Amino acid sequence: MNTRTVPDPMDASLPWELNPVLQQSRLVLLAQTAVDVRNKAFSEANREEGDTSWGIGCKAHERFGHSLCKLEESGKHPWLSVHRDGLYFMPHIEGVAVRVYRGPADKPSQRHLEAARSEHGRRAESRQMAFSFMGGETEPDGPWFWMMAVETDVEGRALRAVFFQANEAGGTRHAWEAPVESVSAAPAPAPEPGDKPARPARPRPAQGQQAKDAPASRDGRPLFRAQTMTLPLVSQPS
């Protein structure tokens, strides 16, 4: 009988340590694609015209599936394959299925766990069973499935992507956050005619270092430098 497992950070391992095919560059590509597609869909949304988070999320889901299929068809990533059936899709990294969903990494919903379990059963019928989910059925509380959670803000924009393993009871382990760029910097607006150019920002010293020529106390802590200014003379009544 499966039980929910409480993850121990001291026992966490990196995905590529558990399975060599889960190379960091491959996981980052998968995560960055999910984050970029979702945030682009939300940046294009027009709330005033009736776009809702549910509708935008559906568009992001469809676009993500389309993007994965394009990556597979490009031939540049032979390690990637996508099992797709209508709106359902499951990416595989050299036979290792990775269930992608939006939500918290520490609490995957039963719907996503069921999708991962079904994919495990489908893959178990093939001769690549030993590589699909790390041989989960011989592990305690297994089988264990690979998942990627796309965590979002209250508006639905992607903030980060976390890879981890989960079992049917909802236990999780070996969480690893992919280093992705979650929000693209917006281009600065063009200056209006007659506007003064912005004063360049002064570089800030690195943490633990004093600014050049900054006065310091005896114990080495920086002090504020006093500034002087000329004050107008005011005559006093006689």
- Enter the pTM of the model: 0.65
Is 73 among the domain residues?
Answer: yes
Is 90 among the domain residues?
Answer: yes
Is 140 among the domain residues?
Answer: yes
> What is the span of the domain harbouring residue 20?
9-177
Per-residue pLDDT, 10: 52
Is 235 among the domain residues?
Answer: no
Which amino acid belongs to residue 157?
R
How far is the C-alpha of 160 from the C-alpha of 175, rounded, in Å?
12
How far is the C-alpha of 172 from the C-alpha of 144, rounded, in Å?
9
Are 37 and 44 in contact by the 8 Å Cβ rule? The answer is: no
What DSSP designation does 128 have?
T
How far is the C-alpha of 89 from the C-alpha of 100, rounded, in Å?
9
Is 51 among the domain residues?
Answer: yes
- Choose between 190 and 28: higher pLDDT: 28
Query: What percentage of residues in the chain have a pLDDT greater than 70?
Result: 63
Per-residue pLDDT, 19: 93
Per-residue pLDDT, 63: 92
Is 227 among the domain residues?
Answer: no
* Cβ neighbours of 133 (radius 10 Å): 27
Is 56 among the domain residues?
Answer: yes
In this predicted structure, the answer to whether residue 224 has a pLDDT above a threshold of 70 is no
How far is the C-alpha of 59 from the C-alpha of 31, rounded, in Å?
17
What is the domain count for the chain?
1
Is 134 among the domain residues?
Answer: yes
Per-residue pLDDT, 135: 47
Going by their DSSP bridges, the two strands 80-85 and 145-152 should be labelled as: unpaired
- Choose between 77 and 184: higher pLDDT: 77
In this predicted structure, the answer to whether residue 104 has a pLDDT above a threshold of 50 is yes
